[in-house]
Amino acid sequence: MPTLATCHCAAVRLTCEAAPVEVTECTCSICRRYGVLWAYYEPAQVRIEGGATEVYEWDDRSIGFHRCVACGCVTH
């Protein structure tokens, strides 16, 4: 699978079969601060490899934001 994205230090790597057809610019309270564009895949379609991540969750904990423990970049 080709590499789709990495964190800044490249410890965390996301790979999938194809680049996203579209991405979402979410304007919720956290995504607008991260300034990210999100692509959505089924878990079987993407592989997350490499360095460790820590997860930030709040409220009902329905969404986890993973960031690289080495460089702090949000990866997924």
Match 């895949």 to its residue by tokens.
Answer: 41
**Residue 14 contacts Zn ion per CB under 5 A:** no
9 vs 39, which CB is nearer to Zn ion? 9
Element (H, E) at 50: strand 46-50
**Residue 70 contacts Zn ion per CB under 5 A:** yes
Q: Are 67 and 53 in contact (CB under 8 A)?
A: yes
> In whole angstroms, how close is the CB of 60 to Zn ion at the nearest point?
28
DSSP 29: T
**Residue 36 contacts Zn ion per CB under 5 A:** no
Element (H, E) at 4: strand 3-6
> In whole angstroms, how close is the CB of 67 to Zn ion at the nearest point?
8
Binding site for Zn ion (CB under 5 A): 7, 9, 11, 68, 70-71
